[in-house]
Amino acid sequence: MFHSSSKVSRSPASAFIRQIWPALIASSNAATAIGMGWLRLPFDVARTQYARSVQAGLCARSILASRDLEHALGLAEQLTLGPLARRL
């Protein structure tokens, strides 16, 4: 007959995993954040280039043009990245 004891023996492997689990989660979160940054980089570069061209006088200062560019970039980001795109 099988008798269960109140003490559960823990193997060294499970103790090791419990110790490193928080570090694995943290590194996974960091890798995800880095990956998302790389995916969003082309859109951020386009926004920055537009802002610099306005500052340099190559494009007219226009709130409407800025809105249209942001709308177009937002749509492109949604189409390209799908559920990974930023939500405003």
What digits encode the pLDDT tens for the residues 19-65?
888 888 888 889 888 888 899 999 999 999 999 999 999 999 999 99
For residue 40, being part of any structural domain is answered with yes
Q: Is the pTM of this model over 0.85?
A: no
Please tell me the total count of domains within the chain: 1
Tens-digit pLDDT profile for residues 52-78: 999 999 999 999 999 999 999 999 999
For residue 7, being part of any structural domain is answered with no
* Residue 2 in this model has a pLDDT that exceeds 60: no
For residue 3, being part of any structural domain is answered with no
For residue 6, being part of any structural domain is answered with no
For residue 49, being part of any structural domain is answered with yes
Give the structural domain span for 25.
12-84
pLDDT confidence of residue 13: 75
pLDDT confidence of residue 18: 84
Nearest CA among 84, 71, 1 for reference residue 41: 84
